[in-house]
Structure 1
Amino acid sequence: MADQKNPKDVTKRSAAKPKLDKAHVADTALDLLNDVGLEGLTLRAIAKELNVQAPALYWHFKNKQALLDEMATVMFRRMTAVGRDVGYEPSGGWQEWLLQGNRQLRATLLSYRDGAKVFSGSRFTGIDHGPEMETNLRYLVDAGFTPDQAAWASSTAYLYTLGFVTEEQGMRGQGEDAAPKVDVAERARRLADFPLAAAAGAQLFAAYDERFEEGLRVIVAGIGARYGVG
């Protein structure tokens, strides 16, 4: 006679394995991202972390880009949740609105290894971003921008932040034992015959917080000058 399975054992095994859905996979992928970086983040590696076979993930994501889309969406949800928790209500007009929003975006991207690369080229799933986007654009329109100008202004600031953080994460090094990729002093020594280029290294490969803030303020000032909105 064949051995009969104990229903209690089956139930115990079922309870031990968490439900595999998009949200759980994306959360696991974001946790793993900080350990292995974007290049090491394969569906096989995620499946191993989840203790499932890789084909099981294809029920939820047809390819890695679909997974990145969901990861970017989760990052956005977390960012907006933080904004609500801290009472994100900028004062000082549309300029401060753009400044604070992009500071928050940079902080979010920097909190994940290769966070800017995950965001870049990804499309949000669902419409979670709809209310936030509507609020941002409405704020600019109420400040005097046309709808088109509001879209251009917000996307220009966003793209600056995304590009800056992509370069920042690429040059500063990330993860444990990571080191900056440029030795500023050594670079200055090699470029000693070109004093301006040599001196620029301290600004090009260091002082990232100050550089981001200065560049963002230049962008915002340029937006105001271009569209004549004070």
Structure 2
Amino acid sequence: MSTERRAPLDRRRVADTALKLLNEVGLEGLTLRAIAKELDVKAPALYWHFKDKQALLDEMATEMYRRMVAGTPLGPDDSWRERLLKANRGLRSALLGYRDGAKVFSGSRFTGLEHAEQMEDTLRLFTAAGFTLAQAVRATSTTYLFTLGFVTEEQGVQPLPGERREGYDVEERARLMADFPLSAAAGAEIFDDYDRHFEEGLALVVAGIGMRYGIP
């Protein structure tokens, strides 16, 4: 009989296992039963920690956020533009680390207050730069929504870096749309080189915020 003791089952261990499994099966295949099997427990054991799948997704998003913050150093001397660029690059990088990462993050509710510290710091930075609180909220939420939407579409084509879904061959698309030459040529600008397109899009949003509120 083995005397090896397993780590106690807690919310963080379940979320960590779920995130690992997510890369294998995607959001649709991520069931409480599958997670329980991975943990070598019965599914009802998970309901002591999570009342349903959405509660688990909330904890998974929170754990993703913890890891994102740990990997995205934000400096106290950042300008508001630098803060937006750093934070959203970090967010995209974190979401791309998981299959369907953007879908898991979207609409989830953080289970703790870890996000409040970074949010408070960012809002303080923005208001010190001349934004009203309402403008600061609008600026940060708009760039966040851009990044979340961008990665959602990106992962619809490339679920994980280096992996591409069937049906997104740019040359085949151009052949099928030969009667619409501009639309055909646009395929490479839509479905390829996501790193460059993200940076261009984020720069457009940040420049627009500065122009809208007249803050350099």
- Provide the TM-score with structure 2 as the length reference: 0.94
**Do the aligned partners of 2:32 and 2:46 also contact (CA within 8 Å) in 1?**
yes
Matched with 1:40 is: 29
Q: Would you say 1:165 and 2:151 are equivalent positions?
A: yes
Q: Would you say 1:128 and 2:114 are equivalent positions?
A: yes
**Do the aligned partners of 1:42 and 1:64 also contact (CA within 8 Å) in 2?**
yes
Matched with 2:14 is: 25
Among 144, 148, 159, which residue is 2:130 paired with? 144
Q: Per-residue deviation at 1:195?
A: 1.2
In 1, Cα distance between the equivalents of 2:196 and 2:161? 22
Highest CA radius of gyration, 1 or 2? 1
Local SS of the residue matching 2:72:
helix
Among 185, 189, 212, which residue is 1:226 paired with? 212
CA offsets per residue over residues 62-85 of structure 1, 9 Å max, x none?
00000000000011111111124x
Matched with 1:82 is: 71
In 1, Cα distance between the equivalents of 2:203 and 2:138? 16
Instruction: Give the fraction of aligned pairs with identical amino acids, expressed as a percent.
Output: 62
CA offsets per residue over residues 166-198 of structure 1, 9 Å max, x none?
000011243896545411111111111111101
Q: Per-residue deviation at 1:91?
A: 6.2
Q: Per-residue deviation at 1:101?
A: 1.0
- Unaligned regions of 5+ residues in structure 1, if any? 1-8
- Unaligned regions of 5+ residues in structure 2, if any? none
Matched with 1:63 is: 52
* 1:168-207 to 2 correspondences below 5 Å: 168-174=154-160, 178-179=164-165, 181-207=167-193
In 2, Cα distance between the equivalents of 1:34 and 1:111? 8
Q: Would you say 1:101 and 2:87 are equivalent positions?
A: yes
Alignment: residue pair count: 216
Local SS of the residue matching 1:129:
helix
> Judging changes above 3 Å, is the alpha-carbon distance between structure 1 residues 57 and 69 closer, same or farther for their aligned structure 2 residues?
same
